[in-house]
Every structure is written in structure tokens, then in C-alpha cells.
Structure 1
């Protein structure tokens, strides 16, 4: 794994990229064909984002 992201601007950029990836996944899902595995994957992505937000929030500003 890489080193922890300490700089706030870099943390924000990281979160923006993750949100864009989440948005891209949402755009590719056909609502008529979504299954439980797809929903679980979306929930997992949201959980990962929440974890990162909490992690970044707990770090001292560089």
C-alpha cells in the first residue's frame, strides 16, 4: 500500500476521484437489470468512501 495522504487538498482530490468513479458505476447500471450483487457493490463503495472521509477527518492538517 501507499503512504497515507496527509495534505488536505490531496485528500479532497482523492475523494472527488472516488465519487466520480461511483457516479460512473451508477451511470452504467441498467435499473431494469440491477441485481443484489450490484446493490451490494454500491453499498460497499459508499462504505469505503465514508471510511476514507472519517480517516481523513481524523488526521492533522499538514
Structure 2
């Protein structure tokens, strides 16, 4: 199995910048980060609700 090296990653990054532009990639990164943050927050909220529900019963 071949591992991806640093040069392959740099080439992929260059192609992505050429296709989408740096501003759009920055926006996509911020949107992805926000989505991951929201997902983590919802997991914490659901876990805390489960714990609170167990204490009530």
C-alpha cells in the first residue's frame, strides 16, 4: 500500500486553489469548521440531557 507524501498533498492543494480560488476554499473551510463545531455541541447537549434524564428517574 502506498502512502501519500508531502509532494502529492502540495500538488492536490495547488489544483484545489486553481479550481476554486483561495477565497472560496477559505469559506468552505470556515463552513466545515462551523458544521463540526455544531455537531460536537449537539453531541454534548444530547449527552447532558441523557444524564439529566437518568437522574430524574
Scaled by the length of structure 1, what TM-score is found? 0.43
Quick check: which has more Rg, 1 or 2?
2
> Higher relative contact order by CA 8 Å / sep ≥ 6: 1 or 2?
1
Scaled by the length of structure 2, what TM-score is found? 0.46
Larger relative helix fraction: 2
